[in-house]
């Protein structure tokens, strides 16, 4: 870590600055880190800024040349239009119902199963856990054919449900495919970090296994549950491929599909697309700003090895 021959100093010397005593190396490193991070953040946020201002521009301004990087007459008209002229209300409701139902199912099952994997040795638990991890590696896209066939005529329950394509139920069932193994895995890792003495003490105090789990351990596991719920919600909210395969009409189409519908073969309605895109991106941005800690911990828990 000699500071004499650092590139910064060489450059500084060339322009006749003597920075040796003014800038200790630690400060210089910090400034450099700040500079690089700031540059990176500006570069990656520029497209988000640009799609945002596109959503506030009039249609004519979107097509004017030279391009404006600040909207000349910002308007909310695009947002009003998509809710008035297109069934965006239905799309938003579909997205909300599908994402929240999937989240509830995955968090409930994932929490129970994750806890048992963490605490109990039962027959074949290693093999089961391994297969749950392996299930996460299956490329969902490889399964569009079977899922399409299954949802068109569901086996066993088909007599009750009939054809499930173009229903929210089909999307909910399909989305548990990505999220349930993930939820089990995150929760198991989370419970592994909760001391066993907690449940044992509860049982000594006369709690049943169920009571120890529900009353004592669950409250402690709230952060893990929050992380699982947020990730499951985001994954379901953003999913596109299966929605593309399994939906036909506004009865079940979700926001990602709605946004892609603005693209026609020869023409894209950019200002309205941008408004729709901002609506679709809203939960993600809000979650990112307020629950970043949970997203990070959930992803990390979900990715760690043994």
Partner 1 sequence: METTEKSLRRTLDRLFVPLTVGPTLIWIAAIIVYPTVRLLWSSLFWMNPLTRETEFVGLRNFKRLLLDPSGTLGVLNPSFIAFTKNTIIYVGCSVTFSFLLGLGIALLLNKDLKGRGWFRTAVIVPWILPYVMSGLMWRWMFEAKNGAINGLLVQTGLISEKIAFLSDGTLAMMTLIIADIWVFTPFIVIILLAGLQNVPEQLYDAAEVDGASRWSRFRNVTYPFLKPSILVALTIRIIFDIRALDLVWVMTKGGPGKSTEVWASWLYRTSMEFQRTGEGAALGVIMLAVTFAIVAILYSIFGGTPYDS
Considering only residues 203 through 242, tell me which ones interact with partner 1, judged by CB under 8 A: 208-210, 213, 234, 237-238, 240-241
Return the exposure string of 44-78: e unless at least 16 CB atoms fall within 10 Å of the residue's CB, then b: eeeeeeebbbbbbbbeebbeeeeeeeebeeeeebb
Q: For residues 242 and 172, give the distance between their C-alpha atoms in angstroms, rounded to a whole number.
A: 10
Q: For residues 21 and 2, give the distance between their C-alpha atoms in angstroms, rounded to a whole number.
A: 14
Residue of 12, 96, 143, 169 interacting with partner 1 (CB under 8 A)? 143
Q: What residues from 163 to 192 belong to the interface with partner 1 (CB under 8 A)?
A: 173-174, 176-177, 180-181, 184
Q: How far is the CB of 238 from partner 1 (least distance, A)?
A: 4
Q: How far is the CB of 188 from partner 1 (least distance, A)?
A: 11
Structure tokens at 285: 């941005």
Q: Is 250 in the site for partner 1 (CB under 8 A)?
A: no
Smallest separation, CB 16 to partner 1 (Å): 27
Q: Are 8 and 32 in contact (CB under 8 A)?
A: yes
Rounded (10°) CA dihedral 212, 192, 101, 238: 160
Work out how close the CB of 155 gets to partner 1 at its nearest, in angstroms, rounded to a whole number.
Answer: 8
160 contributes a contact to partner 1 by CB under 8 A? no
127 binds partner 1 (CB under 8 A): no
| Shortest distance, position 10 Cβ to partner 1, whole Å | 16
- Of 11-50, binders to partner 1 (CB under 8 A) are 29-30, 33-34, 36-37, 40-41, 44-48, 50
Kindly tell me which residue out of 100, 214, 226, 287 binds partner 1, with binding defined by CB under 8 A. Answer: 287
Q: Residue 276: which of 250, 294, 297, 254 has the closest Cα?
A: 254
Q: Let me know: does 187 contact 111? Beta carbons within 8 Å.
A: yes
* Interface residue with partner 1, options 11, 141, 198, 204 (CB under 8 A): 141
Instruction: Select from 16-24, 71-79, 106-114, 215-223 the region that touches partner 1 (CB under 8 A).
Output: 106-114
Nearest distance, CB of residue 88 and partner 1, angstroms: 14
147 in contact with partner 1 (CB under 8 A): yes
Cβ-contact 81, 89 below 8 angstroms: no
Dist CA 36 CA 69 (whole Å) = 23
Choose which of 116, 161, 166, 223 interacts with partner 1 (CB under 8 A).
Answer: 116
Q: Please identify which residue in 227, 270, 275, 294 interacts with partner 1, judged by CB under 8 A.
A: 270
> SS in 3 state form for 168-181?
HHHHHHHHHHHHHH
Whole-angstrom Cα distance, residue 293 to residue 301?
Answer: 12
């Amino acid at each position: 870590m000699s500071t004499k021959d650092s590139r910064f100093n060489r450059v500084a010397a060339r322009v006749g600055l003597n920075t040796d005593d003014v800038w200790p190396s630690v400060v210089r490193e910090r400034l450099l880190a700040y500079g690089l991070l700031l540059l990176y953040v500006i570069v990656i946020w520029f497209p988000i800024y640009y799609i945002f201002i596109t959503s506030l521009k009039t249609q004519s301004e979107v097509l004017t040349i030279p391009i404006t990087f600040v909207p000349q007459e910002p308007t909310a008209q695009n947002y009003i239009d998509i809710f008035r002229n297109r069934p965006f209300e239905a799309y938003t409701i579909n997205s909300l119902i599908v994402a929240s139902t999937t989240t509830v199912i995955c968090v409930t099952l994932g929490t129970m199963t994750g806890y048992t994997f963490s605490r109990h040795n039962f027959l074949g638990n290693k093999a089961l856990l391994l297969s749950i991890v392996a299930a996460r590696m299956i490329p969902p896209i490889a399964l569009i054919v079977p899922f399409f066939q299954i949802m068109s005529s569901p086996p066993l329950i088909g007599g009750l449900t009939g054809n499930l394509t173009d229903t929210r139920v089909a999307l909910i069932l399909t989305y548990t495919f990505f999220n349930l193994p993930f939820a089990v895995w995150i929760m198991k890792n989370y419970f592994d970090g909760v001391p066993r003495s907690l449940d044992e003490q509860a049982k000594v105090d006369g709690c049943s296994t169920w009571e120890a789990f529900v009353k004592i351990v669950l409250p402690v596991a709230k952060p893990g549950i929050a992380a699982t719920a947020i990730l499951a919600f985001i994954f379901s909210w953003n999913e596109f491929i299966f929605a593309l395969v399994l939906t036909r009409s506004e009865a079940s189409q979700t926001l990602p599909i709605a946004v892609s519908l603005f693209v026609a073969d020869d023409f894209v309605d950019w200002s309205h697309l941008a408004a729709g895109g901002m609506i679709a991106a809203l939960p993600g941005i809000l979650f990112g700003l307020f629950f970043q800690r949970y997203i990070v911990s959930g992803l990390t828990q979900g990715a760690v090895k043994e």
